[in-house]
A = this chain, B = another copy of it.
Amino acid sequence: MSDDDSAVARERVIESMEQSAEVYGLSRSAGRIYGVLYFASGTLSIPELVEETGYAKSTVSNVTRTLSRIGLIHRRSSAGGGRRVQFEAEREVWFILQDVFQQYIQREVQTTLRTIRRAEEQVPPDAREQEPIQNLRETYEDLEEIVQLASEYSAAELREALETYEQ
Contact = CB atoms under 8 A, between A and B. Distances in A.
Interface stretch (A49-57, A71-79, A142-150): A142-150
Chain A's interface: helix, strand, loop or mixed, by majority? helix
14 contacts: A2-B124, A5-B123, A6-B123, A8-B122, A13-B136, A23-B104, A24-B108, A39-B129, A94-B142, A142-B159, A153-B165, A160-B165, A160-B167, A161-B165
B146 A162 contact: yes
B158 A146 contact: yes
Contacts of A19: 108, 111-112
Interface of A: 2-3, 5-6, 8-10, 12-13, 15-16, 19-20, 23-25, 38-39, 41, 91, 93-94, 97, 104-105, 108, 111-112, 115-116, 118-120, 122-124, 127-129, 132-133, 135-136, 139-140, 142-143, 145-146, 149-150, 153, 155-165, 167
